[in-house]
Amino acid sequence: MQRRTLLAATSTLLGLPALVHAQALEKPKLTIAVGGKNLLYYLPLTIAESQGFFKAEGLDLTIADFAGGSQALRAVVGGSADVVSGAFEHTLNMQSKGQKLRAFVLQGRAPQIVLGVNPKTMPGFKTVADLKGKKIGVTAPGSSTNVMANFVLAKAGLKPSDVSIIGVGAGSGAVAAMRAGQIDAMSNLDPVITLLQRSGDLKVVSDTRIVAEAEKVFGGPMPAACLYAPQSFIDKNPATAQALANAIVRADKWIQAAGAADIIKAVPENYLLGDRAVYIDAFMAAKGALSPDGLFPEAGAATAARALQSIDETLKDVKFDLAGAYTNDFVRKALAKYPKG
C-alpha cells in the first residue's frame, strides 16, 4: 500500500512541473537589468518572456530596461537587479575593478553593432580618420556600442578623446538625433540601423551583424549579448541560473526556426518603430548573428580581452581570468533537457 501511495504521489507531482520548479529554485522572483530591451541584440530575452519560457521554468521575472548596457551593469553592481542581459565584455572589464561577474548563457555570437556616418553632416566622408573632432552617438557612454566605436577608431589611429561621445539611447531618440544632424556618426543596433539605412540617413562604415565581418574586425569570435551575474549569485542560486539558461536556450532555438511573421507576432508593437517591414528586414539582417544554441565559443573571451586592451590603456597589463568570465555548464544541461528547443 505504501508503495502505491508513493507512486500516486509521484505521478501527481509530475503533473505539476511548474510547482516542482518553483520549489526547487532558490530565487524564483528576480530582476534582470537590460540596456535597450527593444533591440534585436536582446531578442532571445524578449522571446523567452513572450513565449512563456521563463514561466515554464518557474521564474517570476521583472525586466528593468535602461538606456544602455553600462546602466544595466550599474543596477546589478548596485544591488537593484540580480542578473544582467548585456554585452559579454563587461564581465572582463569588471575583473579589473575587482568585481567577479560570470556569463552563463549566450544570446548573440556577433555584436550586431553598426558604425555609420550621417550623410547630411559628413557628405564628403572617405575614411574613419575623418571622424576626428566629430560627434558620435552611442546607446550610452561606456556601453558595448561605445566600445565598438572606440575599437574602430583605434584601428584608424584615433583615440577616444579625438571625438565627442553622446548617449542617444536605442530607439526613436537615436533616430531623431541622426535625422536632426545632432550627431555626425552613430554606433547602434537594429532596428535603429535598418530604419536609418532605409531612409538614407545612415551610411554604413563597419557592420558586425555579419558574423564573418565581426570576426574580421575583432580578429576572432566576439561573443555579444548574454546573461551574466555576480559569481556570488551563481554560487548561491545554481538552480535559478539553470532555469534562466534553459529559457534562453529555448528562445535561441525558437528564433532560428522562426520566420518573419512569427517574430512580428512575438514582439511588442512598440519594438517595430512604426514600420513592420523595417523590423522584418532588421530581423533577417541580425538572425545570423544570434546564437543558435547558447554556447560561448572557446576563443571568445580572448577576443574580447584583446578588444578591450586595444582601446583602454589602463587594461594593457591586466591578466584576465578568461575561464572565470564565462561557463558553458548550464547551457550544456539546457541542451540535454531541450535538444529540440
pLDDT at 161: 94
Report d(CA 223, CA 29) in Å as an integer: 28
How far is Cα 129 from Cα 131, in angstroms, rounded to an integer?
A: 5
What pLDDT, on the 0 to 100 scale, is given for residue 2? 46
Classify domain 114-207 at the CATH superfamily level.
Periplasmic binding protein-like II (3.40.190.10)
Which ranges of the chain would DSSP assign to H, the alpha helix? 2-14, 17-24, 43-50, 53-56, 69-78, 89-95, 144-155, 172-179, 192-198, 211-218, 231-236, 238-257, 260-266, 276-286, 300-311, 329-337
Residue 189's pLDDT is 94
Name residues whose C-beta falls within 8 Å of residue 161's C-beta, 6 or more positions apart in sequence. none
Helix (H, G, I), strand (E, B) or coil at 27: coil
- Per residue of the chain (341 residues), give pLDDT as tens: 444 444 444 444 444 444 444 459 999 999 999 999 999 999 999 999 999 999 999 999 999 999 899 999 999 999 999 999 999 999 999 999 999 999 999 999 999 999 999 999 999 999 999 999 999 999 999 888 998 999 999 999 999 999 999 999 999 999 999 999 999 999 999 999 999 999 999 999 999 999 999 999 899 999 999 999 999 999 999 999 999 999 999 999 999 999 999 999 999 999 998 899 999 999 999 999 999 999 999 999 999 999 999 888 899 999 999 999 999 999 999 999 999 88
Looking at domain 2-111+222-337, its CATH superfamily turns out to be: Periplasmic binding protein-like II (3.40.190.10)
The single-letter code of the amino acid at 131 is L
Q: What is the DSSP string of 119-175?
A: TTT-TT--SGGGGTT-EEEESSTTSHHHHHHHHHHHHTT--GGGSEEEE--SSHHHH
Rounded distance between C-alpha atoms, residue 323 and residue 298, angstroms: 9
List every span in the chain annotated with CATH 3.40.190.10.
2-111+222-337, 114-207
pTM: 0.88
